[in-house]
A = this chain, B = another copy of it.
Amino acid sequence: MRHSDLIQQIRVKKSFLCIGLDLDIDRLPSPFKKNIDSLFSFSKDIIDATSAYSIAYKPNLAFFEAYGAKGWGVLEQIMDYINSTYPELFTIADAKRGDIGTSSERYAKAFFEVLNFDAVTLSPYMGRDSISPFLAYKNKHVILLGLTSNLGAQDFQLLGEGKNTWFAQVIQNSQTWSNSDRIWYVVGATKAEYLKLVRSLVPNTFLLVPGIGAQGGNLSEVVRFGLNEQCGLLVNSSRGIIYKSNGSDFARAAEVQSHKLQSEMEVYLKDIRDFL
């Protein structure tokens, strides 16, 4: 998807909401049998109920791979459904991959060609040549892990001080790579104070912010430090939307919750001069 088409969708829907599809058989609402075939039906109902308020969907690959080839088949069904029914939606493979040379090329092919995702999350640890095969795709995006929202972020990402913090070095180094205009970053909402540092390093880049809701992040904090002239944010919520209700009203509950987040986002978007 072209960058301008994403911006246009944000304007039309007045939303920068991304919905994470963390599909878990054990958490499927009561109308569904707890089996793998239900995962697609559930996802379809969630997407249908929320797509008016959300601009992006982020399937989490771990949950599909846990079910082997069948799980991968469900992912293919979901991507077929989104690409054919809602081609305006931005899709992110939450894969957190990072590998070298031919392996990296294979992953790029899997996500960008076979499954036709618009973006993929990648781990920076192996460096430039683990990312460059993905950056070769025009109108596709790499979302590098910068600062994640989990406790373990302290173990490595937050080592060092200020601009020498590991996550800040990841951002600064990767900005020097070819096609770095196709690189965005994951910055966890539970660390909103660090968004200020990130914005000083990459004022114009889009940031994918997980951790709103279940993980304790605060939307107003995220917006305060993260919003830029072109919005520049995709804020993700997963379990807080898709498992809002586990009864037969699950789709309606997801719709209400996504509408609520969209309404909050609309207020913030109106504050951006000449944007909406």
Which residues on A are within 8 Å of B, measured CB to CB? Answer: 22, 24, 60, 62-63, 65-73, 76, 94, 96-104, 106-107, 109-110, 114-115, 123-131, 145, 148-157, 159, 166, 169-170, 173
Contact = CB atoms under 8 A, between A and B. Distances in A.
A152 B166 contact: no
A97 B125 CA distance: 11
Contacts of A110: 62, 65-68
Contacts of A152: 100, 126-131
B173 A63 contact: no
Ranked nearest first, the 8 interchain pairs of A and B with the lowest CB-CB distance are: A127-B152, A127-B155, A62-B103, A66-B106, A69-B72, A100-B150, A69-B73, A62-B106
A130 B159 CA distance: 17
Contact of A159 (B76, B109, B169): B169
A97 B102 CA distance: 17
B102 A22 contact: yes
A127 B99 contact: no
Nearest to A100: B150
A100 B236 CA distance: 15
A149 to B, nearest CB: 8
A213 to B, nearest CB: 14
Given A70-B69, A150-B126, A63 B145 contact: no
Nearest to A132: B152
Contact of A125 (B65, B101, B124): B124
A125 B125 contact: yes
A115 B152 CA distance: 27
A62 B104 contact: yes
A16 B98 CA distance: 26
B124 A156 contact: yes
A166 B157 CA distance: 10
A222 to B, nearest CB: 18
A76 B72 contact: no
B173 A156 contact: yes
A92 to B, nearest CB: 14
Contacts of A71: 72
A4 to B, nearest CB: 30
Contacts of A100: 148-150, 152
A249 to B, nearest CB: 24
Contacts of A104: 62
22 contacts: A22-B102, A62-B104, A62-B107, A65-B106, A66-B109, A66-B110, A68-B73, A68-B76, A68-B115, A71-B72, A96-B98, A98-B123, A100-B148, A123-B123, A123-B126, A124-B156, A126-B145, A126-B150, A126-B152, A126-B157, A128-B151, A156-B173
